[in-house]
Amino acid sequence: MTGISTAGKPVNLGQLQQELSAGGLNIPAGLGMHDEFVYTYDGDGEAADFAVADQLKVQEVLGAHAAMRDKTDEEYAVEFNDANTSPQRKQEIRDQMNGLVPREQVPMT
């Protein structure tokens, strides 16, 4: 199988590529994923293994990766309707849901 196993861990490919770049790895062809394997691409656009010299670092970054996603409208609604939610927090939720400020990021599960 091509690539490195995620061991079933959720992965956000865009976020992972940024983390790899921050870790000193340049992956210009981008990342792909099939089943639970993350890989890069070769010059012909085909799935390819990471360079041998980079594999340990990729595994290290993947191990520390905590995939994030935008909070959903449903999650905001539950929080908004909670009697313990302050008026200030309700305004923050309104602003996020209406696109005035970026949505909160929560871990993918």
Query: CB under 8 Å to 60, separation ≥6 — which residues?
Result: 23
Average pLDDT of the chain to the nearest whole number: 94
**Domain residue limits, the chain:** 4-66, 69-107
DSSP conformation class of 45: S
What pLDDT score does 25 carry? 92
Which amino acid type is present at position 14? Answer: G
Encoding tokens for residue 67? 């995939």
Contact (Cβ atoms closer than 8 angstroms) between residue 3 and residue 41: no
Mean pLDDT of 2-9: 92
Q: pTM for the whole thing?
A: 0.76
Encoding tokens for residue 3? 């690539």
Q: For the segment 51-96, what is each residue's pLDDT rounded down to a tens digit?
A: 999 999 999 999 999 999 999 999 999 999 999 999 999 999 999 9
